[in-house]
C-alpha cells in the first residue's frame, strides 16, 4: 500500500483540470496547422489542383480543432457549442464524432463530493449556513456545464416558515477554466478562418467571453431571472421560479415541483402534448425580448419543465441576450423578404447586417437556394417540424457543393447575433425533435419586429 495520504475529495476541482495540460492541447493547434499548410504547398508544387489542396487543409484543420475542443470542458467546450454554424459547414465525419464527445462530456461530469458542497455553501452563506437551510440534500438534483443544483428548504434571515428551494452552486475552478480556455482560443482565431473563411472569429470570441463572464456571475443570473419571474407572474402558460437569495457563485430559487421536462415529451409525449408544449416553448422564446427585454439563450429542452397544472416551467437564466429594444427589426425584414421571394433584398440586408463580408462573392440566386427551404415554416399557417425535415436541411447545407458547404463557409456570424443564432437554431432543433405542429407564421407576426410590416 502507498504511504501517501488519501486525496481529500472535498478539494476536487471537477472542471478545472491541469491548466498546463489544457493550454498544451490548445497550443497544439497552430503546430498542426503549420504542418498541414506545408503539406499543402508540397502537393501544389507537384501539381495537385489548388482547390483540392485547400479542401484537404480545411478538412484536416477541422478534424484537429474539433478533436482538441472535444477533449476539454470549460471555455473550449462553450466555444464549440456556440459555433453551431460549423455543423452546417462541415462534413458529418468531422462534426459527428465531435458532437458525440461533447455529449459524453456533458453526461459524465462528476458531481461535487459532499465535502466540497458543504465547503462551497459555507463560503457563500457563512459557517452557520444550515441555520438558513433547515434541510439540504447533498445529492444534486441536476447538473449543468458550470454548476449543479441541490434541493433544500430555506428560511431566510427572518425565521419564516421554510420553503422548498433549488440551490444552484458553481463548480470550484469553473471561472478559471472558462476564462483561460477562451483566452487561448482567441489567439487561434486564424485557424477557424481556414475552415470557414467568411467567419470573423475574433469579435465572436470576444462576445462569447463577455457572455461567459455573465454566466459565471450568479448575481447577474438572479437579476435576469427576477425580471422574467415578475413579467410572467400569473401567466397562463409559463411559470418562472422566483430568486430568493444569491451570491456570485450561488443562487437560491423557489423550487418547481415537476417530474418531467420537455425532454421527456420528446421521448414519450403524445402528439397533443408535443403540439401544445412545442407552441408554448416557441412563444416563450419570442415573448422574452418583447416582454422582459431579454432572450432566454439556453433553449435546451431540459430547462423547460412540465408543471402539474399544465404550464411550462422555465429554469436556468445564466445565458440571456439583453435586448431592451426587443429582437432586431432587421431580422423580421430579412425573413419577410425571403418569404416574399425577394432575395435581392435578402442579399442586401445580409450585407448591411454583417452576415456577409464586403468582399464575399455571393449572388441572390445562390442565397435563395441556400436559405429558401429554411423559410418554409414561415410561409404556411401551420407547419409540422420533423427530424426528417431538419436532417434534410442539414444534409443539404453540408453537402460539398457551391450551394451547400461552399455557401455556408462564406457566411459570417456578427457578434450581436451570437445568442440569437444559438436560440434560433436550437429552438428549431427542439421543435423538430418534438415533431410539433405550430402556427409559426402567426407567432412571427405577433413577436418578430419587422416581419408583419415587411
Yes or no: say if 253 and 244 are a contact pair by the CB < 8 Å rule: yes
pLDDT value, residue 311: 97
Digit-coded pLDDT (tens) for 94-103: 455 544 544 4
Asked, for residue 123, whether it belongs to a domain, the answer is no
Distance CA 371, CA 403 (A): 10
pLDDT value, residue 11: 39
Q: How many CA atoms lie within 13 A of 195 on its CB side?
A: 27
210 and 67 share one domain? yes
What are the two backbone dihedrals, phi and then psi, of residue 266, each rounded to the nearest 5 degrees?
A: -60, -40
52 and 190 share one domain? yes
Task: Using the 3D structure, point to which of 215, 241, 265 is the last residue of a domain.
Answer: 215
CA distances (Å), 360 to each of 62, 79, 410, 431, in order? 21, 25, 7, 32
Pairing of strands 238-239, 312-314: parallel
pLDDT value, residue 45: 35
Distance CA 148, CA 140 (A): 6
Q: 411 lies in which domain range?
A: 329-447
Asked, for residue 143, whether it belongs to a domain, the answer is no
Asked, for residue 222, whether it belongs to a domain, the answer is no
pLDDT value, residue 106: 44
Yes or no: say if 199 and 411 are a contact pair by the CB < 8 Å rule: yes
Yes or no: say if 78 and 49 are a contact pair by the CB < 8 Å rule: no
pLDDT value, residue 385: 95
Asked, for residue 182, whether it belongs to a domain, the answer is yes
H or E element, residue 427: helix 418-434
Distance CA 241, CA 251 (A): 11
CA 435 to chain centre: 21
Asked, for residue 258, whether it belongs to a domain, the answer is no
Asked, for residue 441, whether it belongs to a domain, the answer is yes
211 and 333 share one domain? no
Asked, for residue 88, whether it belongs to a domain, the answer is yes
DSSP, res 127 = T
Strand, coil or helix: what is 414?
Answer: coil
Predicted structure pTM score = 0.77
Yes or no: say if 334 and 349 are a contact pair by the CB < 8 Å rule: yes
Task: Using the 3D structure, point to which of 194, 215, 236 is the last residue of a domain.
Answer: 215
Asked, for residue 15, whether it belongs to a domain, the answer is yes
192 and 338 share one domain? no
Task: Using the 3D structure, point to which of 163, 198, 215 is the last residue of a domain.
Answer: 215
Neighbour-count burial of 93, counting CB atoms closer than 10 A to its CB (0-12 exposed, 13-18 middle, 19+ buried): exposed
pLDDT value, residue 364: 92
C-alpha cell at 322: 439583453
Distance CA 337, CA 345 (A): 6
Tens of pLDDT along the chain (454 residues) come to 444 434 433 334 444 444 445 455 444 444 443 343 333 333 333 333 333 333 444 455 455 555 555 444 444 455 554 444 344 344 455 455 544 544 444 444 568 899 999 999 999 999 999 999 999 999 999 876 688 999 999 997 666 789 999 999 998 887 777 777 666 666 655 555 555 555 666 776 777 777 777 888 999 999 999 999 999 999 999 999 999 999 999 999 999 999 899 999 999 999 999 999 999 999 999 999 999 999 999 888 889 999 999 999 999 999 899 999 999 999 999 999 999 999 999 999 999 999 998 888 889 999 999 898 899 999 999 999 998 898 888 778 777 777 777 787 788 888 889 889 889 988 998 999 999 999 999 999 999 999 987 5
Yes or no: say if 81 and 102 are a contact pair by the CB < 8 Å rule: yes
74 and 207 share one domain? yes
pLDDT value, residue 42: 37
Digit-coded pLDDT (tens) for 352-368: 999 998 888 889 999 99
H or E element, residue 61: helix 50-70
Q: Count the domains in the chain.
A: 2
Amino acid at each position: 500500500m502507498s504511504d501517501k495520504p488519501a486525496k481529500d475529495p472535498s478539494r476536487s476541482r471537477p472542471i478545472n483540470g491541469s491548466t498546463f495540460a489544457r493550454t498544451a492541447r490548445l497550443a497544439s493547434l497552430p503546430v498542426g496547422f503549420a504542418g498541414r499548410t506545408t503539406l499543402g504547398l508540397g502537393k501544389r508544387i507537384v501539381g495537385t489542383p489548388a482547390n483540392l489542396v485547400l479542401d484537404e487543409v480545411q478538412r484536416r484543420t477541422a478534424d484537429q480543432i474539433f478533436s482538441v475542443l472535444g477533449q476539454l470542458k470549460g471555455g473550449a467546450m462553450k466555444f464549440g457549442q456556440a459555433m453551431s454554424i460549423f455543423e452546417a459547414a462541415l462534413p458529418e465525419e468531422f462534426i459527428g464524432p465531435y458532437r458525440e464527445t461533447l455529449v459524453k462530456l456533458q453526461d459524465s461530469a462528476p458531481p461535487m463530493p459532499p465535502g466540497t458542497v458543504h465547503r462551497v455553501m459555507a463560503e457563500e452563506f457563512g459557517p452557520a449556513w444550515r441555520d438558513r437551510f433547515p434541510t439540504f440534500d447533498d445529492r444534486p438534483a441536476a447538473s449543468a456545464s458550470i454548476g449543479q443544483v441541490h434541493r433544500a428548504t430555506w428560511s431566510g434571515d427572518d425565521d419564516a416558515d421554510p420553503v422548498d428551494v433549488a440551490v444552484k452552486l458553481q463548480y470550484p475552478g469553473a471561472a478559471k477554466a472558462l476564462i483561460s480556455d477562451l483566452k487561448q482560443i482567441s489567439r487561434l482565431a486564424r485557424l477557424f478562418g481556414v475552415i470557414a473563411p467568411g467567419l470573423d472569429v475574433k469579435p465572436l470570441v470576444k462576445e462569447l467571453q463577455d457572455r461567459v463572464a455573465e454566466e459565471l456571475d450568479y448575481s447577474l443570473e438572479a437579476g435576469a431571472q427576477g425580471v422574467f419571474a415578475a413579467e410572467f407572474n400569473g401567466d397562463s402558460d409559463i411559470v418562472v421560479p422566483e430568486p430568493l437569495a444569491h451570491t456570485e457563485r450561488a443562487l437560491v430559487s423557489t423550487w418547481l415541483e415537476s417530474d418531467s421536462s420537455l425532454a421527456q415529451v420528446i421521448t414519450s409525449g403524445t402528439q397533443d402534448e408535443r403540439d401544445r408544449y412545442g407552441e408554448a416553448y416557441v412563444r416563450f422564446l419570442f415573448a422574452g425580448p418583447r416582454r422582459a427585454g431579454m432572450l432566454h439563450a439556453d433553449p435546451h429542452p431540459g430547462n423547460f419543465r412540465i408543471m402539474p397544472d399544465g404550464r411550462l416551467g422555465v429554469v436556468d437564466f445564466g445565458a440571456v441576450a439583453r435586448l431592451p429594444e426587443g429582437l432586431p427589426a432587421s431580422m423580421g425584414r430579412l425573413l419577410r423578404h425571403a418569404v416574399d421571394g425577394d432575395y435581392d433584398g435578402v442579399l442586401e440586408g445580409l450585407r448591411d447586417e454583417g452576415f456577409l463580408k464586403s468582399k464575399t462573392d455571393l449572388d441572390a440566386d445562390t442565397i435563395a437556394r441556400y436559405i429558401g427551404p429554411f423559410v418554409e415554416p414561415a410561409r404556411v399557417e401551420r407547419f409540422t417540424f420533423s427530424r426528417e425535415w431538419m436532417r434534410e436541411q442539414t444534409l443539404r447545407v453540408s453537402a460539398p457543393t457551391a450551394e451547400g458547404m461552399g455557401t455556408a463557409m462564406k457566411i459570417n456570424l456578427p457578434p450581436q447575433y451570437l445568442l440569437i443564432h444559438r436560440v434560433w437554431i436550437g429552438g428549431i432543433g427542439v421543435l423538430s425533435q418534438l415533431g410539433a405542429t405550430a402556427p409559426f407564421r402567426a407567432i412571427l407576426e405577433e413577436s418578430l419586429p419587422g416581419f408583419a410590416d415587411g
